[in-house]
């Protein structure tokens, strides 16, 4: 059940003694038959936790990252379930990030099959123009990330309009700010796209305001008014 899974995650974090960590629960089909129909195979679960640090680099949270629009498109919604966090979908992400790093960038941005902005290889994307925050909707083959939802909530509380709409590629180049969100990436600013400097070339004020609130809540320095946090009790206590 969902409750059993949640408790198993808490127990794993506590047993491993982490102060901060990344959590990866993995549900998969196990032994029985070899073929493309997995239904005869039992459902298995593993939970892994490890200390990770800043996913896109130690300085990225303040200085931002350099990214490129990928030649690899996000999968069409009638090919793979884009809203699902499934292992097979990550082949798409792997091709994107490997291409980006091969050309000297930290991360890649995928367009959808219609040419609109979709997401990064492991992050949702937000574009800030004239004090308004734009982000692709579900229909652009995005994974509706948990941190994406947090960022939308915090931005609205700060008084920023958040608009979920299709984003043409050229909006990236005229943006005042761009930032990524994700469980691993947290909230990371983008300082350039395809060599075009975004805003001042470092973290902008809107991104910083949302970052400050987000990190304040998850660190316990700001009250968790949304019930986002779950306490972890150390093993043996």
Neighbouring-strand partners of residue 179: 126, 189
60-218 — its CATH code?
Answer: 3.20.10.10
Phi, psi of 148 (to 5 degrees): -55, -45
237 annotated active-site:
no
Q: What is the pLDDT of residues 92-105, one digit of tens each?
A: 999 999 999 999 99
Q: Stretch 223-235: mean pLDDT, rounded? A: 89
Tokens of 49: 């936790």
Phi, psi of 44 (to 5 degrees): -115, 160
Listed by start position, the domains of the chain span 2-50, 60-218
From CA 67, how far away is CA 147, in angstroms rounded? 20
Q: What does pTM read for this prediction?
A: 0.93
Tokens of 132: 């308004």
User: 89-98, 145-154, 225-234 — which is least confidently predicted?
Assistant: 225-234
Give the active site residue among 85, 156, 158, 237: 85
Residue 237 has pLDDT above 60, yes or no: no
From CA 100, how far away is CA 161, in angstroms rounded? 31
């Amino acid at each position: 059940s969902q409750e059993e899974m949640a408790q198993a995650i808490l127990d794993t974090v506590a047993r491993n003694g982490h102060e901060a960590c990344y959590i990866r629960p993995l549900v998969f089909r196990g032994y029985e038959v070899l073929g493309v129909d997995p239904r005869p195979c039992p459902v298995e679960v593993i939970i892994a936790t490890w200390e990770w640090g800043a996913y896109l680099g130690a300085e990225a949270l303040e200085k931002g990252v350099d990214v490129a629009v990928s030649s690899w498109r996000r999968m069409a919604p009638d090919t793979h379930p884009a809203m699902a966090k499934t292992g097979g979908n990550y082949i798409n992400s792997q091709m994107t990030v490997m291409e980006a790093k091969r050309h000297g960038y930290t991360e890649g941005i995928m367009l959808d099959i219609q040419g609109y902005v979709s997401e990064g290889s492991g992050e949702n994307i937000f574009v800030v123009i004239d004090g308004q925050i734009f982000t692709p909707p579900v229909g652009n083959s995005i994974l509706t990330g948990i941190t994406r939802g947090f960022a939308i909530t915090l931005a609205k509380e700060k008084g920023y309009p958040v608009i979920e709409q299709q984003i043409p590629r050229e909006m990236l180049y005229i943006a005042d700010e761009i930032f990524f969100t994700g469980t691993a990436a947290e909230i990371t600013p983008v300082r350039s796209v395809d060599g075009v400097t975004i805003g001042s070339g470092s973290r902008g004020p809107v991104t910083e305001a949302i970052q400050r609130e987000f990190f304040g809540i998850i660190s316990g320095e700001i009250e968790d008014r949304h019930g986002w946090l779950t306490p972890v009790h150390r093993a043996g206590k």
